[in-house]
Amino acid sequence: MIPFLVALLAILFLVFSLKRPRSRLLLPPGPKPWPLIGNILDMPVVRPYEKYQEWCEAYGSDVIFLHLPTRPIVILGSAKAAFDLLDKRSNIYSDRVTSVLLELMEWGFNFGFMAYTPRWRAHRRMFHQYFHQGIVNKYQSAQRQQVRTFLSWILEDPANTRKHVRQLVTSIVFFVTYGKKIASMDDEYVLLAQDAVEGVGKATVAGAYWIDLLPIIKYIPSWVPGTAAKRLAEEYRPRVVSMRDKPYLEVRDAVVSDSKAHLYAPPLMTLPDTEQRKYGGTEDEATFDEIAKNVSGLAYTFSACSSFLLAMAMFPEVQKRAQAELYRVVGPSRLPDYDDISQIPYIRAMMMETMRWMPVLPFGVPHALIADDTYKSYHIPRGTMVIYNKSPPYNSLWFRAILHNEEDYPSPNAFKPERFLDEDGNMDPTVQDPTTIAFGFGRRICPGRYFSHNTLSMFIASVLHVFDITAGVDASGKPIELSMEMAGGIIS
């Protein structure tokens, strides 16, 4: 089976190489491709962001080119290159590469993975309607209440903090989207969300599975050797479908059967027919029912809360400074509120530093180029997959990527919120805001970023005001040693 796939890859590589128009300009530098199969054997599958930045350093360029059968790849290793191409030229850099594996998993519903089509625009338009900057503050009461409930969970059971964080994030999303309360950290919907996101993390490492280079593999039975991607899809597909469909259908059926259900159902589920007709239904677009269900199944990306807790345990001096600021503004007799946070720039700086220090998506969701382009005298062919490497912390001094570039962020591995403040303790606009990078670029920037900002800032302020955060001890009473190293692919 494997020799057959290699031979097929070689044939496809030759075909696509012959079909690809030749340019007088050189391609960007990169590792030398193998005959016929290109760089497919060079593609990293474990912590790929490390290898991506190693290539940038080795070839002295922030634009690296890789030859893969049927799909060339460009890696961007600097903020400037990412803004120049993905932001300033978003009209041709906003497409996505269709992933056969994600489609088999039923992750195609997520408009973050959709191609740049009317169908994608319909989904984004609805999401924007309910989560744009001017409207997200109406969810603050729900976010505040869920975070305060989280504090009681931690007080009673600090050993399961990571599970409680997962429960908190899911609880906020489900309450705002469906009007549904999550009962426990073992709630069915918490576990479904966890499993579904775990699946997409495994499926989206560029070059890890041959099925995206050879779509014909999807027709081969999963018991045949060399079809690991099929088995992965079969494992996670039921969980993804359940995460997407079950909560939406539960609330929708309640609204249909109960004349008073609309009083507690979220707005998305109770749009009048005139509003529903705005969202397509043509062959090229999605129906309202599909969009509402799909949009409601998003937003499991706030694991920055866990990164923040790690940072506080590793950098206690930062924790103490923030607690002093909270005590000064809030005092000891009540919990923080959003009005308090607006008076403490250091809390906003902590939120920004959390997104920079350990980005949830180390290299984002790859873009795709819809027309030939030229950059720095290099030719970038149409159809190229474009990856921007944000990178999490790493211990080697030479290792620098977009959010760990020493020129923009001195001592990048250190957690230093003060880097975003001026001498007077106010926000310094001359420092690059990492949230403009962490949430993506151009027309594919995450539309849920304002909702995420509110969640994370309330989490940070509330937890710091109530608790001291330490690494804890093991069974023998020895302090646990924490590490900045991350695991995972597109989601860490």
The whole-angstrom distance between residue 329's C-alpha and the CA centroid of its chain comes to 33
- CA distance readout (Å), 89 to 114, 374, 435: 19, 11, 20
Domain spans, the chain: 120-366+410-466
Helix, strand, or coil (residue 251): helix
Considering only CA atoms, which of 159, 160, 167, 161 is closest in space to residue 185? 167
**Full-model pTM:** 0.82
**C-beta of residue 447 within 8 angstroms of C-beta of residue 132:** yes
- The pLDDT assigned to 484 comes to 78
- The pLDDT assigned to 6 comes to 56
pLDDT by residue for the chain (492 residues), tens only, comes to: 555 555 555 555 555 554 555 556 799 999 999 887 888 888 887 777 778 888 988 999 999 999 987 789 999 988 889 899 999 999 999 999 888 888 888 888 888 888 898 888 888 887 888 888 998 898 899 999 999 999 999 999 998 998 899 889 888 888 887 777 887 878 887 788 778 877 877 777 666 677 777 777 777 887 777 778 888 888 999 988 888 888 778 877 776 676 555 545 555 555 555 555 555 555 445 555 665 666 555 544 557 898 999 999 999 999 999 999 999 999 999 999 999 998 999 999 999 999 999 877 766 788 999 999 999 999 999 999 998 876 554 443 333 468 888 888 999 989 999 999 999 999 999 999 998 888 888 898 888 889 889 999 999 999 999 999 998 888 898 988 888 776 655 566
If one looks up domain 120-366+410-466 in CATH, what number appears?
1.10.630.10
The whole-angstrom distance between residue 473's C-alpha and the CA centroid of its chain comes to 31
Is 56 annotated in a binding site? The answer is: no
- The pLDDT assigned to 420 comes to 97
- The pLDDT assigned to 402 comes to 80
CB-based burial label for 484 (10 Å; 0-12, 13-18, 19+): middle
Considering only CA atoms, which of 99, 256, 250 is closest in space to residue 178? 250
- CA distance readout (Å), 256 to 259, 260, 261, 295: 7, 10, 8, 20
Query: For residue 91, what are the contacts with CB-CB under 8 A and spacing of at least 6?
Result: none
CB-based burial label for 474 (10 Å; 0-12, 13-18, 19+): exposed
- The pLDDT assigned to 270 comes to 56
